Amino acid sequence: MQYNLRRRRLNLKIIEAAPSQQIWLEGFLKYITGEAQLAGNTIAAYRRDMEHFFRWLGNRAIDTLNVQLLSDYVNWLSKRHLAPSTLARHITSLRVFFRYLQLEGVLHANNADLLGSQKLWERMPQVLSPGQVENLLLAPQAEIDKLWRRDRAILEFFYATGCRVSELTNLKLQDVHIQEGYCLCTGKGNKQRIVPLGARAIQAFQDWMQEERSTLQQRSQNVEHWRVFRLSNEENSDRGAEGIPHWVFLSYKGRKIRREAMWELIKKYAIRVGTPSTISPHTMRHSFATHMLAGGADLRQVQEMLGHVSIVTTQIYTHVDMTRLKAIHKKFHPRG
C-alpha cells in the first residue's frame, strides 16, 4: 500500500557558496553542534536554512545587510508559500547565525534581531481517544505482520513514554531498565530524562526481545563479515562487541530503524483500524500527555516526562482536555 508522504519543501538548486560563506557555514555548524548543543534534526534544518540564505545573498556582503534588506529576504521566503512555522524557523536560524558572526567578529550588530517574529496560530494538537489508542496498539497481528511483536512494542512505547520519534529510534538497550520500570530518553540538546514504563509496554518489550529481536540481530551479524570494511564510522559506533547492534528497535535487516519507517508504521496501522490517517508519531505523544492530564496528573510532572523546557509548551494540553478543566472548576470554584 502506498502512502502520500510528500511534504512541501523549497526547490533549492545546488549552488556554489563563496569561500568565505563556506567557511562561515562550517564554523556555524560546529558552533550550534558543540557550543549550542542543538539536536541533530535542528542542526540539519538550520543548515538548509543557511543554504537558502546564501542563495538569496548572492554577491552581497553580509556586513552591509540592514533591517530593510533582511526584510526583503523574509519577503523572498514568503513568496515560496512556506508554512508560518517554517518561515518562523528561517528567521530564528538567521538570528542564531548572525549571533555566531558577532562572536567571530565579522559583525558588530545583529540586525536579524530586529526582524519581527512570525505570528503563529496556536493549533490544537490532534489527539486520539483512549478507545482509538487501544485499537491502534492491538493492530499488529501475527497472521499478517512479519514483525508484529516489534511493531506492537514500538506503538506501546510511543504511548507509554510520550517520546518523540527521534528519541525512540535512538533508544539503546542500555537505556531500558525493565526491573526498575523506566527508560532513559535523550531529547533535544542531548538532555536526558527518566520516563516510567507501564506493564503493557514492558510485556511488549520482553516479547519483542525474546521472540523477534534475536533473529534480526543474528541476521545483522551474519552479514557483518563482508560489510565490516564498508561500514561508516557512525555505523560502527552503533554496534558493540561482536557487531551486536545497540539499538532497541531494529529494521528487517537488523539495522537501526529509520524515523521515516516508524512514521510509515503508524500510518499503516492507523488505516487498518480506521483511525484518522492524518495521525503521526507526534499524535501518540499528544495523546499520552492529554490522557495523563485527564487522569489527574500534575502539569509539572507531564512537563518533565515530555522533556519540555517551558511549562507554557505543556499547557496547550489543558486546552485540549476540556473535561479536566470542567472538573477543576467544579472542585475549586465556590459555585462550581
Task: Tell me, yes or no, if 164 is annotated catalytic.
Answer: yes
Assign 164 a pLDDT band (cuts: 50, 70, 90): very high
Assign 244 a pLDDT band (cuts: 50, 70, 90): low
Q: Which tens digits make up the pLDDT trace of 264-312? A: 999 999 999 998 888 999 999 999 999 998 888 888 999 999 999 888 8
| Number of domains, the chain | 2
Which of 47, 82, 114 is a domain's end point?
114
Q: Which of 52, 267, 285, 286 is catalytic?
A: 285
Q: Which three cell numbers stand for residue 11?
A: 526547490
Same domain, 298 and 181: yes
Question: Residue 189's domain is classified under what CATH number?
Answer: 1.10.443.10
Task: Tell me, yes or no, if 200 is annotated catalytic.
Answer: no
321 vs 53: which has the higher pLDDT: 53
Pick the closest to residue 44 from 164, 171, 175, 166 (CA basis): 166
What are the Cα distances from residue 315, in Å, to 210, 227, 244, 309, 311? 39, 48, 42, 12, 6
Same domain, 108 and 134: no
Same domain, 243 and 283: yes
Q: Which three cell numbers stand for residue 175?
A: 537505556
Between CA 171 and CA 73 the distance in angstroms is 39
> Domain limits at 108?
19-114
26 vs 229: which has the higher pLDDT: 26
Question: Residue 38's domain is classified under what CATH number?
Answer: 1.10.150.130
Pick the closest to residue 167 from 199, 128, 193, 202 (CA basis): 193
Q: Which of 47, 255, 272, 308 is catalytic?
A: 308
**C-beta of residue 168 within 8 angstroms of C-beta of residue 205:** no
Task: Tell me, yes or no, if 317 is annotated catalytic.
Answer: yes
Same domain, 101 and 136: no
Same domain, 140 and 289: yes
Residue 8 belongs to some domain of the structure: no
Same domain, 96 and 163: no
Q: Which tens digits make up the pLDDT trace of 170-184? A: 999 999 999 999 999
Same domain, 154 and 106: no
Pick the closest to residue 205 from 157, 169, 251, 166 (CA basis): 157
Highest mean pLDDT among 58-67, 145-154, 243-252 belongs to: 145-154
Q: What's the mean per-residue pLDDT of the chain?
A: 83
Residue 122 belongs to some domain of the structure: no
251 vs 84: which has the higher pLDDT: 251
Q: Which of 73, 149, 317, 324 is catalytic?
A: 317
Residue 332 belongs to some domain of the structure: no
**pLDDT value for 118:** 60
Task: Tell me, yes or no, if 282 is annotated catalytic.
Answer: yes
Q: Running DSSP on this structure, what letter comes out for residue 123?
A: P
Threshold 0.85, pTM exceeds = no
Measured torsion, CA atoms of residues 146, 151, 153, 158, in degrees rounded to the nearest 10: 180
235 vs 37: which has the higher pLDDT: 37
Residue 12 belongs to some domain of the structure: no
Q: Which three cell numbers stand for residue 58?
A: 548572492
**C-beta of residue 323 within 8 angstroms of C-beta of residue 294:** yes
Backbone angles phi, psi at 89, to 5 degrees: -70, -35
Task: Tell me, yes or no, if 230 is annotated catalytic.
Answer: no
Same domain, 274 and 152: yes
Assign 222 a pLDDT band (cuts: 50, 70, 90): low
Residue 310 belongs to some domain of the structure: yes
Same domain, 152 and 102: no
* Number of other residues whose CB lies within 10 A of the CB of residue 63: 11
**pLDDT value for 235:** 45
Which of 114, 148, 171 is a domain's end point?
114
Between CA 114 and CA 137 the distance in angstroms is 48
**pLDDT value for 13:** 41
Residue 334 belongs to some domain of the structure: no
**pLDDT value for 151:** 96
Q: Which of 172, 188, 219, 255 is catalytic?
A: 188
Q: Is 329 exposed, middle or buried (0-12, 13-18, 19+ CB in 10 A)?
A: exposed
Same domain, 76 and 181: no
The end-to-end CA distance of the chain, in Å, is: 51
Q: Assess whether pLDDT exceeds 70 at residue 221.
A: no
**Mean pLDDT of the 194-205 span:** 94
Q: What is the 3-state secondary structure (H, E, C) of 215-277?
A: HHHHHHHHCHHHHCCCCCHHHHHCECHHHCECECCECCCCCECCHHHHHHHHHHHHHHHCCCC
Q: Which residues contact 273 (CB under 8 A, 6 or more apart)?
A: 132, 135, 136, 138, 139
Residue 238 belongs to some domain of the structure: yes
**Mean pLDDT of the 68-94 span:** 88
Least confident of 9-18, 105-114, 198-207, 248-257: 9-18
Which of 62, 82, 114 is a domain's end point?
114
Assign 239 a pLDDT band (cuts: 50, 70, 90): low
Between CA 77 and CA 12 the distance in angstroms is 12
Which alpha helices (DSSP H) does 138-176 contain, by range? 148-161, 165-169
Q: Which of 164, 256, 267, 291 is catalytic?
A: 164
Same domain, 85 and 158: no
Same domain, 98 and 183: no
Q: Assess whether pLDDT exceeds 50 at residue 10.
A: no
Residue 13 belongs to some domain of the structure: no
**pLDDT value for 197:** 94
